[in-house]
Amino acid sequence: MTEAAIKGNGKKRTIFICQGTGCVSGKSLEITEALKKSVAEQGISGVNVDFTGCHGFCEQGPVAIVEPEGIFYTHVTVADMPEIVESHFKNGKPVERLFYKDPASGQAIPYHKDIKFYSMQQRIILRNCGRINPERIEDYLATGGYEALKKVLKEMTPKQVIEELKRSGLRGRGGAGFSTGQKWEFCHNAPGDQKYMICNADEGDPGAFMDRSTMEGDPLTVIEGMTIAAYAIGASEGYIYIRAEYPLAVKRVRLALKLAEEKGFLGNKILGSNFSFRIHVKEGAGAFVCGEETALMASIEGKRGMPRSRPPFPATSGLWGKPTTINNVKSLATVPVIIARGADWYASTGTEKSKGTCVFALTGKIANCGLVEVPMGIQLRKIIMEIGGGIPGGKKFKAVQTGGPSGGCLPENYLDQPVDYESLTAAGSMMGSGGMVVMDEETCMVDVARYFLSFTQAESCGKCVPCRVGTKQMLDVLIRICGGEGRPEDITLLQEMGNNIKAGSLCALGQTAPNPVLTTLRYFRDEYEAHINEKRCPAMVCTALVRYYILPDKCMACGICARNCPVEAITGAKRMVHVIDQEKCVKCGTCLEVCPEKFSAITKVSGKELDVPREPTPIRVEKPKVQAVT
């Protein structure tokens, strides 16, 4: 590392502290204040302390980055701030112990551009996240913000904007993958004096945080994209529908709207044109079904969030019966870049039918959790094994679920599958809004199917019978299988019910809810058969099919397991092999956790019983051989 790099090439340096929700939960607000205090106390000049939204590398948070040199600090704490100020800013020596460590090599990497998690991404939607202060409009303008809106209002007609979007090939990033330009065109052509533009920010997938992070880190790009969309379809009023569980995103969106109005980018006669547009914020109550556009509109209208049958489609009869267009956060965040850089530039990334990039919330059994933006068509293997750093703890990859709770679970032989709308659908999964959950060898796929179906079943609005009743019946079967009471006919029953629910449900929630079950049946049928026919859980996860035993030849009668058992299911006196009462055991696993590693006297088994004593027995101790003295 050169001295010029350490000192920022003579430029005033800024250290940015991430203040996305994840890092804020790790006390980044206190870290920022501690950093400011340390800079002041040590009399450091030429250093500015600022904050950004989410950097995306949530596994390493709270994070800090020093610009312009790009030095990246991970897992920072309040206690680290005086050392960073003194060592890095005062003495020109970065704090190496806070550098990112590569999970494969263990190498410390100082610059964020050299970290695979970042270097292998192609950020378009997340282009400003982690790089600007989201609460300052000047930062957004400095990145070229609102140049696209200026171009649209001064140089383009609404039809020209729509044609540019159609040529770009942008498809909806909310899950359906419908052409964004065509969607706008339908609404533009619909008759009506009043039209509405809606941003669907109701991100309800478990483990998904792409939209939340975008709104926290770069809300103005979503607002600019929404304003361009409103101009194209002829809307004068808009709504951002955002769940109330995202308080930081709500706060920053409201502030961004205020700043945009003050600068003339929203309101009456925007930038001196004849186009006027206002945006309202509607906070949702957290119903997963309100991610469906007709249910979302019902919620805005003050009704219960329930989907309705279509046609009529929202483009002709949407909010309050008026022509309406609804786009996802990620779709709208892409619009300003397409207008600014051109449709051909955008269409050069991705595949023939899936253009541009996609953002995933990479979570689960993965070394590098966080937000990943990659070109369409990239292989799953590159996302999981390279950008994600692979499976931690030396474990083996087992499956990945794409598309949120309604997505499918794909096995190892699909790791070379390209990530695009058509390929994932053909494999039984889907792109969805961008959730990606990685599972290792210790994951039970039957239990995974049960977990995700329990979520969608609980979130069903109950309006249509296939979803309301069908998902409950499927869930009952899965609970029975995980409980060791599965029947041979259950596999066929699950397949038939799943297909019927997909065909008969009113909205996408019911139409996709069976996906986790159907794909695990397709790719992991052997696990279902083991649960049903052998009463065995191969991953030893399903509690009803698992038992804990104390191995008599290894037990040293230390009593640690008995003292820690919460239900007193372990008996045994001094110098007596301890025994677990299987009737009293609640299978919490505490005994296995506390047994000293040097003894390893407790084992966990599934599908069989061990031939061990049922009552405490004396410990067998071999007497040392004594050699006779002659």
pLDDT at 621: 56
- Alpha-carbon gap, residue 423 to 420, rounded angstroms: 6
Q: Judge if pTM exceeds 0.75.
A: yes
Residues of the chain with pLDDT > 90, as a percent, come to 84
Say if CB 527 and CB 446 are below 8 A apart: yes
Distances from the Cα of 161 to the Cαs of 149, 188, 276, 395, in angstroms?
11, 11, 17, 50
pLDDT tens per residue, range 390-429: 999 999 999 999 988 888 999 999 999 899 999 998 988 8
- Alpha-carbon gap, residue 273 to 260, rounded angstroms: 16
SS3 347: helix
SS3 268: coil
Residues of the chain with pLDDT > 70, as a percent, come to 97
pLDDT tens per residue, range 346-390: 999 999 999 999 999 999 999 999 999 999 999 999 999 999 999
User: Which of these ranges, 2-16, 237-251, 468-482, 592-606, has the smallest mean pLDDT?
Assistant: 2-16
Say if CB 571 and CB 585 are below 8 A apart: no
pLDDT at 608: 84
Q: Is the pLDDT of residue 8 over 80?
A: no
pLDDT tens per residue, range 82-111: 999 999 999 999 999 999 999 888 899 999
Q: What is the DSSP letter of 379?
A: B
Looking up tokens 């100082």, which residue turns up?
110
Q: Is the pLDDT of residue 11 over 90?
A: no
Say if CB 18 and CB 54 are below 8 A apart: yes
Q: Give the mean pLDDT of the chain.
A: 93
- Alpha-carbon gap, residue 7 to 398, rounded angstroms: 46
Q: What is the DSSP letter of 370?
A: E
pLDDT at 174: 75
Element (H, E) at 14: strand 13-18
Give the pLDDT band of residue 432 (cuts 50, 70, 90): confident
Among candidate residues 52, 51, 97, the one with its CA nearest the CA of residue 74: 97
- Cβ burial of 608 (10 Å; 0-12, 13-18, 19+) is exposed
pLDDT at 403: 87
pLDDT at 625: 52
Mean pLDDT value of segment 520-549? 95
pLDDT at 349: 95
User: Which of these ranges, 339-343, 358-362, 601-605, 622-626, has the smallest mean pLDDT?
Assistant: 622-626
Q: Which domains does the chain have, with CATH numbers?
A: 3-114 (3.40.30.10), 137-347 (3.40.50.11540), 357-443 (3.10.20.600), 446-533 (1.20.1440.230), 545-618 (3.30.70.20)
Give the pLDDT band of residue 629 (cuts 50, 70, 90): low
Give the pLDDT band of residue 324 (cuts 50, 70, 90): very high
Give the pLDDT band of residue 630 (cuts 50, 70, 90): very low
SS3 17: strand
Distances from the Cα of 525 to the Cαs of 290, 441, 494, in angstroms?
33, 15, 12
- Alpha-carbon gap, residue 539 to 449, rounded angstroms: 14
Q: Which two tokens stand for residue 56?
A: 């995306």
